[in-house]
Structure 1
Amino acid sequence: MMEPMIDKFDKYWEDFSDILAIAAVLDPRLKFAFLEYCYNTLDPSTSKSNLAHVRSKMVQLFGAYERNTSNSTSTTSQVPREDIPCGYSGFYSYYSPKTGVGIGKSPLDTYLDEHVLDMVTFRSLNVVAYWKDNSSHFKELASMACDVLSIPLTIVASESCFSIGSRVLNKYRSSLLPINVQVLICARNWIQSFQEIGEEFEFIEEEGENESENRVI
């Protein structure tokens, strides 16, 4: 009994969700320290490779957001020269390149280099609100974080939710024509939509049976 359980555990562990791991990193109370703890607890031999995999996927995703931002804006967000107060133009040209997330650092690198927030102090932190409040500081990373963290999670397998193949093509009906499969699925949808109608649905069903009997005769 233990061997099948281990095999199933290994199967699910090999298919761990990259986007779920990225969402954990985007929580300022967790970041990669939390992933490292989880991976070391589950399997220390693969911890480093899993961390490197998630980091590469995160960099790749962030790069897509950076490209979209650069394509949507032909120039960087610079203050027009006429909007700079008189006497401050020299100071602005000297200081503006040094502001932001850091020289030679992307917003992603800056975020990952910062210390994690204390879980006890920020126990009720709204992570999405955190990224909205820091959107001017992290820029594209904040947009990426809001998109990733807004993905709804479910513990139900997608096939169980959206696939009815096993109910249509079972061991007794394994070679149906495509047109017959469409008829079965369509009839199933009709029956489900009419479940709340009691007597009318029964009448329609009886009438259909009578018509089929007449056709056979």
Structure 2
Amino acid sequence: MDDATENVDEANQNKEKDVIEANEEEENPFASKKRNHATVRKDYFSAYDIEKKKVKDLLKHIDKVSVTTDLWKSGQQVSYMVITAHFMDSNWNLQKCTLNFCDVPSPHTGVVICDVLMLKDNLAYKNSLALNGKLFHVKCCAHILKLLVQDGLSEIEDIIFNDVSSLYQQRDPTYTFLPSEEDCEKVKEVCSFLEEFNKVTKVISSTEYPTSNLFLAELYNIKKLLNEAHENVGYMQAMVSKMKKKFDKFLGDCNLLISIAAVLDPRNKMKLVEWCFPEIYSTSDAIEQMTIVQETLRMLYNEYFEAHRAKNVDTKISGAENQREGSSCIVSGKRKVRGRAQFYSYIRNVDNIIEQVKSKLEVCLEDGCHICEDDEKFDALEWWKMNNMKYRVL
């Protein structure tokens, strides 16, 4: 009897153990103590297929995405490129997901990166690019700032070397070459000058909230700093001149997407462009660049407006037919349209004429800027979510 009881207890324990292991396997199908190369490889591809399906389901109902590329070099000096899609979900939350992680051969020129990406031609073929790709490529502002600082520091290497020499003496008492007090003061002044670049880089490199609407104001601060420093004659003039030249090279032509993002921030609108451009460009160029921004914004709005109208045309036709049916009566066996249906037809025609005379874009820009008491807590996407019904296309 005891033997039978022991056998039953042992069988129950084994059964319970099997259930626990099955549950663990269900929760984490890739967790196992014994794995060979083939099993691990299979699990990796299985995980990849699962994540790929999640991304496809996530993007299934998304009309537009922004794509960013980041280059990364491994410890084995192999270069990779991460391709990330950024978009807003139905609740107006900023989302992102990795689309690809691919090897990029040297040299990392624009042509090589474009060949690896193979995105623009595919999207252009499907007519998916806004303004035929006019806004497709945007230079990385953080990278441009890095190039500016590197070029500037190359002009004062001797001063930097003198300052570093003091650190050498702390490690080696026999090292006698020390910087002068004048060199120390120069280094402090350079660090103070470059502090603004550090602050701007942190602002535009954040990933916790949308930052494209903040770029223009930060670039204005940088250009103003360079213009003011360039007027001063001294040891930093060569450094500032080189940085200013690099700024004009990469950001001299109007960066349309940065400008449009700034305009669509309700705190800015065109007023920020009108305020920043005279500092960034010459007087004549500023007027020309502002005109380009306004015209591009108008064309972009019209493109979205046509897409919005085409998307809702079936709904409007169906609704109009229902209205006509509901606003009619039977007279001598025939259906006759009553005044209400005729009035609806008149309203639709009048609304189309008003839209042609003054678009929602113009109405929005004329409404004035949104004055925010606490800019740090302001959420541009939340504002557009609240005003979605007022500015459907925008």
TM-score (normalised: structure 2): 0.31
Higher relative contact order (CA 8 A, sep 6+): 1
1:91-170 superposed matches below 5 A? 104-120=357-373, 124-141=377-394
Structure with more strand by fraction: 2
Pairs within 5 Å for 1:191-202:
none
1:26 CA drift (Å): 0.2
What are the equivalent positions in structure 2 for 1:7-86 lying under 5 Å apart?
Answer: 7-45=245-283, 46-74=285-313, 77=316, 80=320, 82=322
SS in 2 for 1:57: helix
- Note the C-alpha offset of 1:130: 1.8
SS in 1 for 2:290: helix
1:137-181 per-residue CA deviation (whole Å, 9 max, x = no partner) reads: 21211xxxxxxxxxxxxxxxxxxxxxxxxxxxxxxxxxxxxxxxx
* Residues 133 and 99 of structure 1: CA distance in aligned 2, closer, same or farther (over 3 Å): farther
Cα offsets for 1:53-78 (capped at 9, x unmatched):
11111112112212212332335748
Is the 1:81–1:89 Cα contact (8 Å) retained in structure 2? no
In the TM superposition, what whole-angstrom CA distance separates every residue of 1:62-111 from its partner, at most 9, and x where no partner exists? Answer: 122122123323357485475699897687667676679x5621111111
Amino acid at match of 1:39: F
Read off the aligned partner of 2:371 and give its amino acid letter.
D
RMSD, aligned α-carbons = 3.3
In structure 1, stretches of 5+ residues that fail to align are 142-217
Contact 2:263 2:273 (C-alpha < 8 Å) held by counterparts: yes
User: CA 1:127/1:6 → structure 2, altered by over 3 Å: closer, same or farther?
Assistant: closer
Distance 1:120 1:43, change over 3 A: same
SS at match of 2:309: helix
Distance 1:3 1:122 in 2: 33
1:20/1:80 Cα in 2 relative to 1: closer, same or farther (>3 Å)?
A: same
- Counterpart among 229, 233, 244 of residue 6 in structure 1: 244
For 1:91 and 1:15, locate their aligned partners in 2 and report how far apart those are by CA, in whole Å. Answer: 50
- Alignment partners' CA distance in 2, 1:60 and 1:121: 33
Structure 1 residues 61 and 96, CA gap change in structure 2 (3 angstroms): closer
Q: Deviation above 3 Å: which 4+ runs of structure 1?
A: 75-100
CA distance in 2, matches of 1:57, 1:140: 16
Q: Secondary structure at the match of 1:65?
A: helix
Counterpart residue identity of residue 117, structure 1: H
CA distance in 1, matches of 2:271, 2:260: 12
Q: CA shift at 1:39, angstroms? A: 0.8
